[in-house]
C-alpha cells in the first residue's frame, strides 16, 4: 500500500521544503535552503532522505522512500501497542486498519515528518506498556528517548507526554506515578531545548512591519443580536440553573461532595450564558458525573430537570444567534467560545468510525463512574492520549489542519478497537453463535472496515492528480518555454517552483499569508525560505507589469488552497489574476493548476513606466509590501486579539 503510486505525482504541500533541505545537505553538508536559512525541522528524517537520494538519485520516489518504510514499521508497532488491550485477533485487525487508514497511507507517501511523528509516538506507547508490565527502567528511558525524537519531528509530540502517567494512575502506584511525572519533566526539558533551537533558526518578522497592528473594532459580530434585554433574560435563566444546582447539592450526603458538584454546575451555567459552551460542557460533564456518583435516586431526578434547563437555554441561544450566523458552522463557532472544539472535528477526519467509537467510550466511562462502577483501563488512554491533547490544542488555535492532531490518531484507533472488542464480548454472552472463533474474527474484521472506510481507501490509493496538485507539470511546461533571463516569472507556490525551476522572480500571495513567512533584507521584503521578493497587492502586480513592458510575464498558479472554486489565500490579487490581464497557457493534470501569461490587454491597461533604476523599483515594491502586510497584521489582530 505504501509503495503503490509512490512516485506517481510531483512534490506537494511542504515536501519541497524538505527536498530543498536535502539538496543543501548533499551540496553543503547542512540543511540549507536557497535563502541560506538553516532548516531545523525533522533532522533525523532529512538525514534518511539524504541517504536515500545519495543511493538512488534525486527523485520523488527516493525522497519519499524513508516515509514509506516508516509507515510499514508503524503498522507493526500498532499491533504491539494494541496487544496491551486487545486479543491477538483484534490486534491483527487493528494492524490491518492502520495499514489501510487513508491518512496514514498518504503520510507514508509524503516526504514530510508526520508519519515519523506517529511512529515515534507508537514506539513510546510500546515502551510505556512494557515499563508498566516489567517495571524495568530501560523501557521508561526508551519511551523518553522516542518521545524526544518525536519532538524533533514536530513539537506536537509533547501532547503525548501525559501517557507516561498511565502505569502509575491505572495501578494506583504512587511510586510509578512519581517516576512518570519525572519522565514528563525530562521530555518537557527536551521540548524546550528543541523548540529554542528551532525558533532560533527562523528570522523574526521585522517589528516595523507589524508596528501598526491594533485591535480596532470591526464589523457586526455574530453575537450582536444578543441585545441587553436578551442578555438579562439569559442571565435570569442562568439563575434558575443555579437554583436547580443548589437543589441537586442538597441531595448529596457529603458536604465536600455538595460543594464540588455545586461549584462545577454553577461554573458551567456561567460559562454557558457567556457563550463558552465548550468549557461549559466540560464543567457540566464532571459536575453531573460527580453528583450522580455521590447522590441518591432524588439526585437523578433533580439532574434530569437541570439537564432539560441546560438544553432549553441552548435552544434559545441557537434561535437568537442563527439569523446573524447564517450557517451551522458559524453558529457553532459563536456558541463554542475558547478553547475551540474544531480540533475534535479534525481528529475525526482521520476515521469517523474510530472517532464515534471513542466518543461513545468517553460517555460510557462517565456513565460507569457516575454509577460507581469500574472503568476499563483503556478509557484512561482515551482521556490522556486523545481528549486531553485535542482539548489543549483548541486553546492555541481556533482551527487546524487534520495533520496537527496526528499525535492522537494511534491512541484513538486503539481505544476504538478496545471498545469494539468489549461490545462484541458483551454481545457474545447473549448470542451463543458470537462466541465462536470465526465470529470473533468477523467481529474484528468488521471493526477494521468501520475504522478504515473502504470507500475512502479506494479514493485515496494511487489517486494521482485527482487529489494532488500538479506543481511538477507546471514546471515542466515552463521549462518547455525556454525561459531566459529577460522573462519575468511569478509563482503562487514559491517553494515548489523554486525547487523545480531553481528560482522565480516574485512570490505572488495575499498579505495575510505573506506576513508569516517574510523578512526584510537589502533586497526588500522576501520569503525567508527562498529569498524571493513578494508581490502582495494589485498595485504591486501592476507595477511589475508596468516596469517589464514588452517582456514575457508568466504567473505559475497552484492547485493547492482552493475553496469553492476560489484560491483562498490570494486576497485582493484574486480579481487581478482572474482578469483579462492574463490568459491561461497551460492547465495541469489536476485540472486546477494553471500557468498564465500577461496579455496585450495588460499592456493597454497598464501603460509602460518611465525608465527607472532597479533600486527605485525595488524600493517602491518594498514600501507597498510593508503597507499591505501592516494592514494584514492589523486585521489579524482585530480578528483574534
The per-residue pLDDT for range 308-338, each reduced to its tens digit, is: 999 999 999 999 888 888 788 888 888 888 8
* 550 and 418 in a common domain: no
pLDDT digits (tens, 9 = 90+) for 534-559: 999 999 999 999 888 889 999 999 98
Confidence of residue 563 (pLDDT cuts 50, 70, 90): confident
b/e map 228-239, b = 16+ CB within 10 Å: eeeeeebeebbe
**CA–CA distance from 620 to each of 525, 544, 547, 604 (Å)?**
11, 11, 11, 22
Q: 314 and 430 in contact (C-beta within 8 Å)?
A: no
Look at residue 637 in the predicted model and tell me its pLDDT: 53
* 484 and 400 in a common domain: no
Average the pLDDT over 499-525 and give the result.
89
Look at residue 530 in the predicted model and tell me its pLDDT: 94
Domain count, the chain: 3
In order, the DSSP letters of 88-146 are HHHHHHHHHHHHH-HHHHHHHTSSSTHHHHHHHHHHHHHHHHHHHHH--HHHHHHHHHH
* 544 and 601 in a common domain: yes
d(CA 77, CA 126): 7
411, 441, 460 - which closes a domain: 460
* 502 and 369 in a common domain: no
409, 435, 460 - which closes a domain: 460
Confidence of residue 220 (pLDDT cuts 50, 70, 90): very low
Half-sphere exposure of residue 159: CA atoms within 13 angstroms, side-chain side: 27
In a domain, 629, yes or no: yes
Look at residue 606 in the predicted model and tell me its pLDDT: 55
In a domain, 220, yes or no: no
In a domain, 293, yes or no: yes
168, 201, 234 - which closes a domain: 201
Task: Look at residue 363 and tell me whether its pLDDT is greater than 70.
Answer: yes
Look at residue 218 in the predicted model and tell me its pLDDT: 34
Task: Look at residue 608 and tell me whether its pLDDT is greater than 90.
Answer: no
pLDDT digits (tens, 9 = 90+) for 457-468: 888 888 889 989
- Residue 212, Cβ neighbours under 10 Å: how many? 14
Task: Look at residue 397 and tell me whether its pLDDT is greater than 60.
Answer: yes
Task: Look at residue 594 and tell me whether its pLDDT is greater than 80.
Answer: yes
pLDDT digits (tens, 9 = 90+) for 141-165: 999 999 999 999 999 999 999 999 9
Which of residues 437 and 141 earns the better pLDDT score?
141
Average the pLDDT over 240-267 and give the result.
92
Confidence of residue 207 (pLDDT cuts 50, 70, 90): very low
Q: Give the residue numbers spanning the domain of 363.
A: 226-460
In a domain, 7, yes or no: no
608: DSSP letter: P
Q: Of 368, 361, 366, which is closest to residue 385 (Cα–Cα)? A: 361
Q: 410 and 389 in contact (C-beta within 8 Å)?
A: no
Look at residue 460 in the predicted model and tell me its pLDDT: 86
In a domain, 368, yes or no: yes
Average the pLDDT over 363-372 and give the result.
93
Task: Look at residue 221 and tell me whether its pLDDT is greater than 60.
Answer: no
* 563 and 424 in a common domain: no
Residue recorded with cell 461513545: 360
In a domain, 9, yes or no: no
Q: Of 538, 547, 522, 549, which is closest to residue 622 (Cα–Cα)? A: 522
* 597 and 448 in a common domain: no
Task: Look at residue 635 and tell me whether its pLDDT is greater than 60.
Answer: no
* 300 and 427 in a common domain: yes
* 119 and 89 in a common domain: yes
Percent of the chain topping pLDDT 90:
68
* 486 and 348 in a common domain: no
* 447 and 581 in a common domain: no
Pairing type for strands 524-527 and 562-563 reads unpaired
pLDDT digits (tens, 9 = 90+) for 265-276: 999 999 999 999
Percent of the chain topping pLDDT 70:
90
* 361 and 445 in a common domain: yes
Q: Of 427, 545, 550, which is closest to residue 490 (Cα–Cα)? A: 545
Q: 514 and 536 in contact (C-beta within 8 Å)?
A: yes
Look at residue 120 in the predicted model and tell me its pLDDT: 97
In a domain, 213, yes or no: no
Which of residues 500 and 606 earns the better pLDDT score?
500
In a domain, 254, yes or no: yes
Look at residue 601 in the predicted model and tell me its pLDDT: 66
* 96 and 30 in a common domain: yes
Beta pairing partners, 535: 508
The grid cell for 154 is 514536530
Amino acid at each position: 500500500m505504501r509503495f503503490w503510486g509512490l512516485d506517481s505525482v510531483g512534490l506537494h504541500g511542504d515536501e519541497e521544503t524538505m527536498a530543498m533541505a536535502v539538496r543543501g545537505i548533499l551540496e553543503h553538508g547542512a540543511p540549507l535552503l536557497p535563502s541560506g536559512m538553516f532548516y531545523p525541522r525533522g533532522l533525523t528524517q532529512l538525514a534518511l532522505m539524504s541517504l536515500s537520494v545519495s543511493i538512488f538519485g534525486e527523485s520523488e520516489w527516493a525522497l519519499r522512500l524513508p516515509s514509506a518504510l516508516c509507515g510499514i514499521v508503524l503498522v507493526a508497532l500498532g499491533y504491539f501497542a494494541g496487544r496491551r488491550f486487545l486479543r491477538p485477533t483484534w490486534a491483527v485487525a487493528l494492524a490491518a486498519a492502520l495499514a489501510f487508514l487513508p491518512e496514514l497511507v498518504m503520510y507514508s507517501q509524503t516526504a514530510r515528518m508526520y508519519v515519523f511523528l506517529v511512529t515515534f509516538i507508537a514506539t513510546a506507547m510500546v515502551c510505556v506498556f512494557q515499563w508498566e508490565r516489567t517495571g524495568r527502567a530501560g523501557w521508561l528511558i526508551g519511551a523518553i528517548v522516542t518521545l524526544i525524537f518525536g519532538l524533533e519531528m514536530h513539537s506536537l509530540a509533547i501532547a503525548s507526554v501525559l501517557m507516561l502517567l498511565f502505569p502509575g494512575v491505572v495501578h494506583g502506584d504512587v511510586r510509578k506515578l512519581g517516576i512518570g511525572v519525572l519522565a514528563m519533566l525530562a521530555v518537557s526539558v527536551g521540548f524546550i531545548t528543541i523548540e529554542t533551537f528551532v525558533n532560533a533558526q527562523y528570522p523574526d518578522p521585522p517589528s516595523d512591519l507589524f508596528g501598526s497592528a491594533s485591535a480596532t473594532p470591526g464589523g457586526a459580530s455574530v453575537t450582536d443580536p444578543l441585545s441587553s434585554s436578551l442578555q438579562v433574560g439569559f442571565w435570569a435563566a442562568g439563575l434558575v440553573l443555579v437554583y436547580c444546582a443548589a437543589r441537586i447539592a442538597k441531595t448529596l450526603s457529603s458536604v465536600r461532595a455538595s460543594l464540588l458538584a455545586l461549584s462545577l454546575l454553577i461554573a458551567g451555567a456561567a460559562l454557558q450564558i457567556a457563550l463558552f459552551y465548550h468549557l461549559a460542557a466540560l464543567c457540566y460533564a464532571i459536575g453531573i458525573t460527580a453528583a450522580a456518583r455521590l447522590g441518591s435516586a432524588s439526585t437523578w431526578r433533580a439532574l434530569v430537570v437541570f439537564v432539560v434547563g441546560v438544553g432549553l437555554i441552548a435552544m434559545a441561544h441557537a434561535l437568537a444567534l442563527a439569523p446573524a450566523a447564517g450557517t451551522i458552522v458559524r453558529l457553532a463557532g459563536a456558541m463554542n467560545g475558547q478553547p475551540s472544539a474544531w480540533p475534535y472535528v479534525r481528529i475525526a477526519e482521520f476515521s469517523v468510525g474510530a472517532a464515534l467509537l471513542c466518543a461513545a467510550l468517553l460517555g460510557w466511562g462517565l456513565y460507569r463512574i457516575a454509577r460507581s462502577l469500574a472503568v476499563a483501563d483503556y478509557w484512561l488512554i482515551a482521556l490522556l492520549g486523545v481528549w486531553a491533547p485535542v482539548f489543549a490544542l483548541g486553546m492555541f488555535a481556533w482551527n487546524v489542519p487534520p495533520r496537527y492532531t496526528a499525535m492522537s490518531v494511534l491512541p484513538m484507533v486503539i481505544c476504538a478497537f478496545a471498545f469494539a472488542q468489549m461490545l462484541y464480548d458483551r454481545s457474545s454472552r447473549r448470542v451463543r453463535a458470537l462466541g465462536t472463533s470465526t465470529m470473533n474474527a468477523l467481529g474484528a474484521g468488521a471493526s477494521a472496515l468501520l475504522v478504515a472506510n473502504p470507500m475512502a481507501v479506494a479514493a485515496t490509493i494511487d489517486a494521482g492528480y485527482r487529489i494532488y496538485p500538479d506543481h511538477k507539470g507546471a514546471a515542466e511546461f515552463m521549462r518547455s518555454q525556454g525561459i531566459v533571463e529577460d522573462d519575468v516569472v511569478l509563482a503562487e507556490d514559491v517553494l515548489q517552483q523554486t525547487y523545480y525551476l531553481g528560482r522565480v522572480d516574485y512570490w505572488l500571495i495575499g498579505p495575510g499569508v505573506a506576513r508569516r513567512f517574510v523578512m526584510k533584507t537589502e533586497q526588500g521584503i522576501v520569503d525567508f525560505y527562498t529569498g524571493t521578493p513578494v508581490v502582495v497587492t494589485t498595485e504591486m502586480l501592476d507595477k511589475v507589469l508596468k516596469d517589464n513592458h514588452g517582456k514575457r510575464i508568466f504567473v505559475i498558479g497552484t492547485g493547492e488552497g482552493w475553496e469553492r472554486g476560489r484560491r483562498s489565500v490570494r486576497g485582493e490579487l484574486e480579481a487581478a489574476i482572474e482578469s483579462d490581464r492574463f490568459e491561461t497557457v497551460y492547465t495541469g493534470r489536476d485540472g486546477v493548476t494553471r500557468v498564465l501569461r500577461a496579455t496585450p490587454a495588460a499592456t493597454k491597461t497598464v501603460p509602460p513606466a518611465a525608465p527607472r533604476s532597479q533600486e527605485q523599483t525595488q524600493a517602491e515594491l518594498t514600501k507597498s509590501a510593508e503597507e499591505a502586510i501592516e494592514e494584514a497584521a492589523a486585521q489579524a489582530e482585530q480578528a483574534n486579539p
